[in-house]
Amino acid sequence: MNSEAQIDAVTFEVASAALQSAAEEMGSVLKRSSYSPIIRDMDDFSCAVFTAEGDLVAQADYIPAQLGAMSLVVKAVLERWRGRIREHDAYICNHPYRGAMHLPDVNIVIPIFSEGELVAWAGTAAHHIDVGGVNPGSEAPDLAELYGEGVVIPPLRLSIAGEENEELVDLLTENFRDPLSTLSDLRAQRASCRLGEERVHELMRLYGTGTVLAVMRRMLDVVEAAVTRLLEALPDGVGEAEGSLDDDGRDGPPTRIHARIEKRGGRLHIDLSGSDRQTAGAMNIPWASARAGLVYAVRCVVAPGLGSNDGLLRALDITAPRGTVVNPTPPAAVSIRHNSCQRLADTLIRAMYEIWPDRAVASSTVSFFSFNVGSTNPATGAPAVMADVVGGGTGATAHGDGLDGVDTYMSNVGVMPTEVVETNYNIRIRRTEFRPGSQGLGAFNGGLGLIREYEILRHPQHATFYAEQTDSRFAPRGAASGGEALATTITVLAPDGTVIDTPRKTSRILEPGTVVRVETAGGGGYGDPAARSTELSDWDAREGRLAG
């Protein structure tokens, strides 16, 4: 094998770019070969390449919520199967207390061998529309334990020596509401991993296995060194911030997330111990997701131009006691963890801006409205589970207005196209439009939230929906004297048009003709609203962006 000393700068740049390209090409394969709209149309997945020890070296940037998380699954596979890992095996895991995030986010990873030696891994994580449990979509805000949320899969072999594990497939088939979709997507993930394996083998044939492994190690070292240098160039200091979830998942009291960040030299010390104890409902953040939130926030504020790998984590010292909402004790429920992750990201970013106010931006929405429905296919009548997400506005900055109607912070999911909804489910989309006046005002305004209406058709359907920031006390904040955005509202209309009083997070049977309307929060404003330019104010009025 070639030694690391033989790697020149050109070889390193070309080979590291090839690894990154492999992860991105894996994403293209998964997107184009998947069965479910949440993967195919909404891009709720990630693909990555790892070292033999499970450290992430290259990941395609699809979902930031999965940045910094997937490597823990590889390490869990190694812990369980070390000494028994064979070429052409494929492993599956969705266990939130074994490195995964929540049960619908299923990880598939495969080992990569060279001359009989394990040298790397290729992996994917993708959101599946249903993995069993009490509710269609496998999410339930009011559940107290993980077991009710779906089938819990520890690190197991999906394929053995290249052959699908029929016994495991039979088990999954009997526990999923739409096994055709789920199993088809699992096979698409496995195909994506095989493509990653092939690309790594091509690179090893070109440069030699030793060189490629040395490039992987150096990729981690380069990111660590770059983050350390960037931190050293910033002033030392301490910042604190806190943010609250509307409730505990059961319409209980607000849940507080607190972050204290101290920067000294080239290190960040992040202390989350001031956060509340784990919640009674499913708002808890498993450690993999919390770690992903830390990676995302630090990358945004300190090193936005860097690629993401586990080298960034080497510059962080993290305190997150077990039993808190950011690191719960099993078997606490976690299915709604993404809303809490969004609040964690916002809180971490605001804490860092306490240290470096020149980098401040207004808060984005963390509402993350989700709508899961056990429906049927209008063409065939077969059971079909829909999972949709509605974004909102990003916060304004010192350089411009926020973005309208996007999935903010750690998410990057597209809203499901109307045609896809109405073709695949007995649901009608009555409206999808921007929400005028939802933004915080400032010299630069926040982005607009969205309005979307779903109508249930033909037969009663089991729906689960939830959102954060329905409490106006926790609406997106402005920065530098900018204004707050509006809170999110959810309205349920009976078939006769009367309003049905419902909790803000709920799971229930909806009769045909029922309409669920969500109006999401915009982003906070930046700067004094009186300082907004005449040109931008005229544009606001002309485009109907302000409240009527």
Output the DSSP codes for 97-124.
TTT-SSTTEEEEEEEEEETTEEEEEEEE
pLDDT of 3 reads 41
* Among candidate residues 187, 210, 225, the one where a domain is terminated: 225
Question: 203-220 burial, b if ≥16 CB within 10 A, otherwise e?
Answer: bbeebebbbbbbbbebbb
- Domain total in the chain: 2
Based on the number of CB atoms within 10 Å of its own CB, is 378 exposed (0-12), middle (13-18) or buried (19 or more)? middle
* Beta pairing, strands 489-493 & 515-519: antiparallel
pLDDT of 115 reads 95
In a domain, 349, yes or no: no
Domain boundaries, position 373: 360-548
In a domain, 291, yes or no: no
In a domain, 292, yes or no: no
In a domain, 296, yes or no: no
pTM, to two decimals: 0.96
Amino acid at 264: R
Residues forming beta bridges with residue 111, ordered by sequence position: 121
In a domain, 346, yes or no: no
* Among candidate residues 225, 245, 268, the one where a domain is terminated: 225
In a domain, 484, yes or no: yes
Q: Are 235 and 356 in contact (CB under 8 A)?
A: yes
In a domain, 263, yes or no: no
Question: 7-35 burial, b if ≥16 CB within 10 A, otherwise e?
Answer: beeebbeebbebbbebbebbbebbbebbb
In a domain, 230, yes or no: no
Q: Is 281 helix (H, G, I), strand (E, B) or coil?
A: coil
Ordered per-residue pLDDT tens for the chain, 548 residues: 444 447 899 999 999 999 999 999 999 999 999 999 999 999 999 999 999 999 999 998 778 777 668 999 999 999 999 999 999 999 999 999 999 999 999 999 999 999 999 999 999 999 999 999 999 999 999 999 999 999 999 999 999 999 999 999 999 999 999 999 999 999 999 999 999 999 999 999 999 999 999 999 999 999 999 999 999 999 999 999 999 999 999 989 999 999 999 999 999 999 999 999 999 999 999 999 999 999 999 999 999 988 889 999 999 999 999 999 999 999 999 999 999 999 999 999 999 999 999 999 999 999 999 999 999 999 999 999 999 999 999 999 999 999 999 999 998 888 999 999 999 999 999 999 999 999 999 999 999 999 999 999 999 999 999 999 999 999 999 999 999 999 999 999 999 999 999 999 999 999 999 999 999 999 999 999 999 999 999 999 999 999 87
* Among candidate residues 225, 256, 282, the one where a domain is terminated: 225
